């Protein structure tokens, strides 16, 4: 399938995955190892983790950023090494963590860092409502704050182009800043950015427009959304469909349907393919390609999602960390072909004679 100028070899997308291994926002050798091996996976598209457009937009002190020359150079260095050995299309997820910022990395005991801690900072949000009990209270963004965030997304999009990425994904899911504007649970504003659905969508759409205007017109800009908050009275699939249609009008090239993350009271039915029904609903309402994600681990399971038309692509996160050659095994199981690097061609099992296509 083609999405604008991107030729996608199959229907497997690698979902963005924070590695919490950056230093001052700069990618490290870990990112070269991590993205490097995923670049050899045979997937159609590799998405770089949530990349903060401002330092205070990081989830933790170890998040990747793209807000100055140093952070840009670190991504450029990583991507130019990968590009030497793989032509996999690469997207970057541009993000702002909003009120869920200033936390510990997930493999350490959970904690929020207050602004006066050397590892913390003051978080921002649409309204001064903390994520949970014990979480710091964010500062509600005023006009200058909104402008600063908008300008930061536009500047990061310009930098992203210089790093050599093929596409941008706007992170509007999982309870981070864009989603905080969308959901009535986290957005209690009384200005033109709060209240009605139209008002709550206004800031995320402005951000989308700022990115779209700053990134080359022939390259795709997509979005990732939460299809529901899984909370009564919160963001839901009907509002998601309205947002998806607006995004499409604004030139969005594809939409990736995840869910949840806005509030600790969420009740997520985490069973295989649990978010696919949300993707199916959006797919019926838009023309742009739709990506389904969430507990998709089996080859037949993935094939069925695409073959029945529930979604155009499936995205993998945990399954491809566990098995970075998942697309090779899927191709073998389903009698398809996959592109493998020349250096690994001799690994083709004898029983799968035509599995590999050459570089
Ligand atoms: C280690 C890890 C890091 C993640 N980081 C991000 C991220 O940076 N941006 C994002 O939108 N989702 C992130 N997610 C969510 C995944 O992209 C995905 O939506 C979720 O894990 C469900 O898919 P799965 O069942 O295939 O793992 C992360 C998930 C994992 C496991």
208-218: average pLDDT: 98
State the distance from the centre of ligand 1 to the C-alpha of 231, rounded, in angstroms. 20
Tell me how far apart the alpha carbons of residues 309 and 86 are, in angstroms, rounded to a whole number: 30
Q: Whose CA is nearest to atom 6 of ligand 1?
A: 17
Q: Is 108 exposed, middle or buried (0-12, 13-18, 19+ CB in 10 A)?
A: exposed
Tell me how far apart the alpha carbons of residues 317 and 328 are, in angstroms, rounded to a whole number: 16
Over residues 33-50, the pLDDT tens digits come to 999 999 999 999 999 999
Nearest to 326 by CA among 4, 33, 6, 14: 14
CB burial of 244-277 (b: ≥16 within 10 Å; e: otherwise) equals bbbbbeebbbbbbbbbbbbbeebeeeeeebebbe
Ligand 1, CB cutoff 6 Å, lining residues: 15-18, 49-50, 93, 171, 173-174, 224, 258, 293-296, 316-319
227-245: average pLDDT: 98
Q: Grade residue 347 by pLDDT with cuts at 50, 70 and 90.
A: very high
Phi/psi of residue 199, nearest 5 degrees: -65, -40
Phi/psi of residue 57, nearest 5 degrees: -90, 5
State the distance from the centre of ligand 1 to the C-alpha of 15, rounded, in angstroms. 6
94 with 125: CB under 8 angstroms?
no
Per-residue pLDDT, 214: 98
113-131: average pLDDT: 97
Tell me how far apart the alpha carbons of residues 101 and 257 are, in angstroms, rounded to a whole number: 22
To test the pocket of ligand 1, the residue of 14, 15, 59 to mutate (highest count of ligand atoms within 8 Å of its CB) is: 15
Look at residue 232 and tell me whether its pLDDT is greater than 90.
Answer: yes
Per-residue pLDDT, 359: 57
Q: 113, 176, 193, 322: which one is catalytic?
A: 176
Got the DSSP string for 253-282? --EEEE---S-TT-----STTTTHHHHHHH
Catalytic residue status for 176? yes
109-129: average pLDDT: 97
Tell me how far apart the alpha carbons of residues 214 and 159 are, in angstroms, rounded to a whole number: 9
State how far the alpha carbon of 327 is from the alpha carbons of 42, 257, 319, 352, 359, in Å: 6, 21, 10, 14, 16
Tokens at residue 224, please?
């990732």
To test the pocket of ligand 1, the residue of 12, 13, 14, 16 to mutate (highest count of ligand atoms within 8 Å of its CB) is: 16
CB atoms within 10 A of CB 352: 16
Q: What is the pTM for the complete model shown? A: 0.98
Tell me how far apart the alpha carbons of residues 356 and 223 are, in angstroms, rounded to a whole number: 32
Which atom of ligand 1 is closest in space to residue 320's alpha carbon? 26
Tell me how far apart the alpha carbons of residues 333 and 78 are, in angstroms, rounded to a whole number: 32
Inter-axis angle of helices 69-85 and 143-163, to 10 degrees?
30
Per-residue pLDDT, 358: 75
Average confidence score pLDDT of the chain:
97
Our separate counts of H helices and E strands in the chain read 10, 14
Percent of the chain residues topping a pLDDT of 70 = 100
48 Cβ contact list (under 8 Å, min separation 6) = 16, 35, 64, 75, 90, 91, 92, 93, 165
């Amino acid at each position: 399938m083609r999405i604008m100028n991107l030729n996608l070899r199959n229907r497997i997308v690698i979902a963005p995955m924070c590695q919490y291994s950056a230093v001052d926002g700069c990618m490290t050798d870990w990112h070269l190892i991590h993205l490097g091996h995923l670049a050899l996976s045979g997937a159609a598209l590799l998405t770089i983790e949530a990349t903060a457009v401002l330092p205070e937009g990081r989830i933790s002190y170890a998040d990747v950023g793209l807000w100055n020359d140093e952070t840009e150079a670190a991504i450029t260095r990583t991507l130019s090494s990968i590009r030497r050995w793989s032509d996999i299309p690469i997207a970057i997820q541009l993000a702002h963590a909003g009120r869920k910022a200033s936390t510990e990395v997930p493999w350490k005991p959970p904690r929020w860092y207050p602004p006066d801690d050397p590892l913390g900072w003051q978080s921002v949000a649409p309204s001064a409502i903390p994520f949970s009990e014990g979480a710091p209270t964010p500062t509600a963004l005023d006009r200058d704050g909104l402008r600063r965030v908008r300008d930061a997304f536009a500047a990061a999009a310009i930098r992203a182009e210089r790093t050599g990425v093929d596409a941008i994904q706007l992170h509007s899911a999982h309870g981070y800043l864009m989603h905080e504007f969308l959901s009535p649970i986290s957005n209690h504003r009384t200005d033109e950015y709060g209240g009605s659905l139209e008002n709550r969508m206004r800031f995320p759409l402005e951000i989308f427009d700022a990115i779209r205007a700053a990134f080359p017109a022939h390259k795709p800009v997509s979005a990732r959304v939460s299809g529901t908050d899984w909370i009564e009275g919160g963001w839901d699939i009907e509002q998601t469909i309205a947002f998806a249609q607006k995004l499409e009008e604004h030139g969005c090239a594809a939409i990736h349907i995840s869910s949840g993350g806005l509030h600790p009271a969420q009740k997520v039915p985490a069973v295989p393919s649990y978010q696919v029904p949300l993707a199916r609903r959006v797919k019926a309402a838009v023309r742009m390609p739709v990506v389904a994600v969430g507990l998709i681990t089996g080859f037949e399971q993935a094939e069925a999602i695409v073959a029945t038309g529930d979604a155009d692509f499936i995205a993998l996160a945990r399954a491809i960390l566990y098995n970075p050659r998942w697309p090779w095994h899927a191709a073998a199981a389903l009698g398809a072909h996959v592109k493998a690097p020349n250096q690994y061609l001799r690994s083709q099992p004898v029983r799968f004679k035509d599995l590999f296509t050459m570089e």
